[in-house]
């Protein structure tokens, strides 16, 4: 979340997949969509919901706690929005205070994951969906957001257990979406264009973190 409360994804625009369906419906008399495309789009039709299993997580070992639906947008990533980035945040508070904020519909922001100081991982939004975490619509649509318990001005909050657990989580996300393990694709909230946030701050050890991510990613190869 950073030094200031995160801003919401202000544009709840219809995704590319929904627009494709609208265009297809208007042209049914002359255009026939490919069968595989229809298979991916059927759930976007009015009255149809893509199947979701309650409490399901994308990262093995994560604990599921649902964020308020006001703090994210339903999607079908990476089919409608390609995922090519991980954004690193710091909560500016405790794990529990971040969970409470992300469950509050008035907060208007939330990340996919929170990593505690002891290395435990909480997932609050499915990776399928667009979380309002970066304060930038494009970055929200193309990234997975990971919060880390603590404060930007307290390096002691960034424990060994946190670095290692977060690195394993980021490595798994990079493997799932074929994201390069480099600083162009794994960024801090402060690096998001247009943001007024400072996290993860000067005490976040990027050299150490990236080394751990690369090692964890190599183990998945």
- Tens-place pLDDT, residues 52-71: 888 999 999 999 999 999 99
> What's the chain's average pLDDT?
86
- Tens-place pLDDT, residues 156-209: 999 999 999 999 999 999 999 999 999 999 999 999 999 999 999 999 999 999
Asked if residue 27 has pLDDT above 80, the reply is no
Domains annotated for the chain, with CATH where assigned, are 63-220 (3.40.80.10)
Asked if residue 47 has pLDDT above 80, the reply is no
Banded pLDDT at 43 (limits 50, 70, 90)? low
End-to-end CA distance of the chain: 32
């Amino acid at each position: 979340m950073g030094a200031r409360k995160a801003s919401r994804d202000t544009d709840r625009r219809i995704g590319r997949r929904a627009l494709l369906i609208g265009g297809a419906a208007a042209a049914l008399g002359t255009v026939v969509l490919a069968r595989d495309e229809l298979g991916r789009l059927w759930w976007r039709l009015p009255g149809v919901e893509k199947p979701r299993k309650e409490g399901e997580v994308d990262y093995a070992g994560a604990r599921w706690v649902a964020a308020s639906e006001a703090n994210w947008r339903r999607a079908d990533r990476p089919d409608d929005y390609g995922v090519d980035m991980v954004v690193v945040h710091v909560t500016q508070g405790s794990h529990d205070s971040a969970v409470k904020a992300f469950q509050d519909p008035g907060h208007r922001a939330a990340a996919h994951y929170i990593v505690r100081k002891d290395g435990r991982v909480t997932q609050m939004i499915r990776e399928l969906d667009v979380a309002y975490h970066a304060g930038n619509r494009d970055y929200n649509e193309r990234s997975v957001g990971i919060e880390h318990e603590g404060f930007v001005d307290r390096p002691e909050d960034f424990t060994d257990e946190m670095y290692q657990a977060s690195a394993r989580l980021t490595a798994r996300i990079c493997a799932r979406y074929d994201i390069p393990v480099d600083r162009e694709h794994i960024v801090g909230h402060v690096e998001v264009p247009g943001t007024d946030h400072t996290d993860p701050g000067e005490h976040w050890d990027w050299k150490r973190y990236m080394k751990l991510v690369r090692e964890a990613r190599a183990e998945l190869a």
